Structure 1
């Protein structure tokens, strides 16, 4: 390999990431759909995520998501994302992350990007895509409820409204009254249409919402009554561990990837253990996009996306290309030093 083939290395901070993504919600939803379709046709590599846990900090974890994305914007890489829930009490965000992009030809890393924004963006875009595709065979929801009111909830609301959704009422529930009020204030400032209601209980929120977004830090199921879902809502189960196996088994279930979602103590994983099989899964979002699966009406519909590393790669590559196109790539000169085999 010649020295000329070694790529430069750039470090892209959160300010540039946010600038590259601002106002591009529809484009990012399309990009996420394209990536899911590539995943559905086998043009990705997305091995299991790796969890680093700490005996002295049981609520904390750091997750490695390696992946490779094919297609016209092929890229390999790794997302390294931490979740430290105790941060919230200290006034800083729970999650922090970086994304490393690798050149598929040489294997050299060519960029490191701040990735909490990328992670929230791909999660919200995935949610908006699923909400659109999964409601094409049922009534379009007019009321939405957010259980959990952090960064992910804010991004999901933004992506829904930016892609044409509007609601008569937006419901909020959070175990922290302060956080619920903060989200209510954000919704008011966003000037999105719809009455905003803060609910005192999860039951009130769920029963009054046609579309429910779970974006909590719950480690084990805390929603256990299938009767709360008897009005057959669409549930975007983004935090994966809120619903009891009984609720999952009583619903129609769509995941983003079966093998990823049925592990690590997710609600779907617990449902598999409780039922002894996977028959409760109707299919995957890529199968819905391809027209091979169509969720029936008349049942609660739960979408549980584990979150695929290839989505982070797709959004990260988009950001890199945007920053590079505008001539603003912050390259670290001399990052790769030993480039001659014998000195």
Structure 2
């Protein structure tokens, strides 16, 4: 058993955004081709506590580098007020020939980066054919770890991005975030109102801790692509009038997401235009629509964690990183 802590994971992934983007894209395509297995996530909740949760995401990815894994990720929003990160996670990887566990990997860094990479892959694909100015700015709603990663991965995919609009319910947090990301080639503006932030740019990333819908897309300009990463921000009415792309329809229409509420409201899933993997594999098309809002709602498939964790494991092992426990499975 190889144990890889946060420092080991970052040693592999820092400066490796291109590898993460390729891994995420390839995994979506493998999913579209039926080369994966993704059982539904398991939500562990606590009595008299509707805010905190721990989620288990089992997954298998086939292909040239097969891997089976389980991500166990806790979301405790109150941590932020105590100076701790909201999410903490561990990923257990198993061999697929004999089922034996081979690695325990710190998972919060992997989780944040695969989420951001999926957003960047979607943003690039869903703005193909858009006017050039669509790819020059982004609005970030929620000034936390996820949107910090989204900005970096977006700029890797869309290097023309040079303007950022920020909004957070905690204005001080938004200003501190602005100070961290500001640089000579990046113009940053903190907005006091969410509607002006939503209208500022035609790529919008929603990464909040909202448990129920609190937004519509009414303030978004036509042609906006919304990366609905936190899944529960948008009112079902906004989902139903948008062009919707998801990572997996069966996964995203559950657990009280905005998509599930839209399904309940409409009585079906006809509002979903395509799954991202099918678009990337050229099995479906979702042309850029300058007259409508397009929403990407990714449930966050465990196959992405499994594939990126396998990359981390292979690279770390080749570099001699981590702590090896040779007797983990023996007396």
**Normalised by the size of structure 2, how large is the TM-score?**
0.96
Q: Where does residue 242 of structure 2 map in the other structure?
A: 251
How far did residue 255 of structure 1 move? 0.1
Q: How far apart, CA to CA, are the structure 2 residues paired with 1:165 and 1:236?
A: 18
Of structures 1 and 2, the larger Rg is shown by 1
1:228 aligns with 2:219: yes
How far did residue 179 of structure 1 move? 1.3
1:162 aligns with 2:156: yes
Q: How far apart, CA to CA, are the structure 2 residues paired with 1:34 and 1:157?
A: 21
Q: How far apart, CA to CA, are the structure 2 residues paired with 1:14 and 1:108?
A: 23
1:260 aligns with 2:260: no
Map 1:160-199 to 2 at 5 A.
Answer: 160-188=154-182, 191=183, 193-199=185-191
Q: Where does residue 66 of structure 2 map in the other structure?
A: 74
Map 1:248-327 to 2 at 5 A.
Answer: 248-296=239-287, 297=289, 298-327=291-320
How far did residue 230 of structure 1 move? 4.2
Map 1:187-226 to 2 at 5 A.
Answer: 187-188=181-182, 191=183, 193-224=185-216, 226=217
CA spacing shift, 1:240–1:192, aligned 2, 3 Å: farther
Q: How far apart, CA to CA, are the structure 2 residues paired with 1:262 and 1:68?
A: 21
Q: How far apart, CA to CA, are the structure 1 residues paired with 2:60 and 2:38?
A: 7
Q: Report if the CA contact (8 A) 1:166-1:193 is conserved.
A: no
Q: List gaps (5 residues or longer) in structure 1.
A: 1-8, 339-343
CA spacing shift, 1:192–1:31, aligned 2, 3 Å: farther
**Normalised by the size of structure 1, how large is the TM-score?**
0.93
Residue by residue over 1:223-242, the C-alpha shift from the partner in whole angstroms, topping out at 9 and shown as x without a partner, is: 03x42124230100000000
Q: How far apart, CA to CA, are the structure 2 residues paired with 1:209 and 1:248?
A: 19
CA spacing shift, 1:245–1:288, aligned 2, 3 Å: same
Q: How far apart, CA to CA, are the structure 2 residues paired with 1:209 and 1:163?
A: 17
Q: How far apart, CA to CA, are the structure 1 residues paired with 2:221 and 2:270?
A: 21
Q: How far apart, CA to CA, are the structure 2 residues paired with 1:293 and 1:149?
A: 33
How far did residue 192 of structure 1 move? 6.1
Map 1:4-19 to 2 at 5 A.
Answer: 9-19=1-11
Q: Which moved more, 1:164-173 or 1:98-107?
A: 164-173
